[in-house]
Amino acid sequence: MSETILVTGGTGVLGRQVARRLLAPGREVRVLSRRTAPPGTPYAWRTGDLRTHQGIDSAVRGADVIVHCATTLGGRDVATTKALVDTARRHGMPHVVFISIVGIDRIPLPYYRAKLAAEEAVVASGLPSTILRATQFHDLVCRIVDIQRFLPAVLYPAGFRVQPVDAGEVAARLVELALGEPAGRGPDMGGPEVRDFADLARITLRARGRRRVVIPVPFPGATARAYRAGHHLTPNATGRVTFEEYLAAQAAIA
């Protein structure tokens, strides 16, 4: 049976790996992005914006499955997710697969509150749905280090541990879920190891050939306490790719 799958956020770190893995003969893979289609794209490209709703109808119409990876990285994720599921309800009952984050119900970060409300919007829509919560991606650890490259040191919240997971492995799991039956919220997915952020920062700096000191900064408050308590970690360490293996793979393709 031919199938149409829409990937929102199909240009992002996660979504582009989901879209690539979905390509198969007889399947239409749509990518929703605010950008115009790059030349030679293998996808049925849909330019649109979940904030303004421009282009959303055309992206959603006829989709059997929607893998929702788009994020505004803020509170707007609630409205954008509602816009997506409301539009989907008008165009049939596609299976919505939503990527979320481990610990969003226990860490009072504003972005996490929005992710939780977005999860609730998916469930409340009545659409068949599947929700996967994952830990931080390896890429995010690198991004936190790289963004500080103009500072004389790398700062991080004291006592911060992470369980980074390979975005490619999360993408592969999302593809399995998208091709399967709606499953509600399944087991969380975490990386293979819980590591001190400071160690990963030093490893990243070494890989980049940069010399910087890594300095813990004491953060007060409930959010920092929740991170120190490890509410963003999971015993479901189903990811296999370690941080070092991820960096080595990045270096190999650079």
Ligand X SMILES: NC(=O)c1ccc[n+]([C@@H]2O[C@H](COP(=O)([O-])OP(=O)(O)OC[C@H]3O[C@@H](n4cnc5c(N)ncnc54)[C@H](OP(=O)(O)O)[C@@H]3O)[C@@H](O)[C@H]2O)c1
Binding site for ligand X (CB under 6 A): 8-9, 11-15, 32-35, 49-51, 69-72, 80, 99, 101, 115, 134, 136-137, 140
Task: Tell me the closest approach of the beta carbon of residue 31 to ligand X, in angstroms.
Answer: 8
Closer residue to ligand X, CB minimum distance, 35 or 211: 35
CA distances from 98 to 77, 89, 210, 218 (A): 12, 16, 37, 34
Question: Nearer to ligand X by C-beta: 25 or 82?
Answer: 82
Minimal distance, residue 132 CB to ligand X, in Å? 9
Which one, 165 or 213, has the nearer CB to ligand X?
Answer: 165
Least distance to ligand X from the beta carbon of 15, Å? 5
Residue at shortest CB range from ligand X: 12
Tell me the CB-side half-sphere exposure of residue 227, using CA atoms within 13 A. Answer: 21
- Closer residue to ligand X, CB minimum distance, 9 or 192: 9
**b/e code 109-118 from CB counts within 10 Å (16+ = b):** bebbbbbbbb
Q: Which of 158, 167, 246 is nearest to 203 (CA)?
A: 246
Distance, in Å, from the CA atom of 76 to the CA atom of 81, rounded to the nearest integer, reads 9
**Using CA atoms, how far apart are residues 9 and 14, in angstroms rounded to an integer?**
8
Q: Residue 93 CB, nearest distance to ligand X (Å)?
A: 22
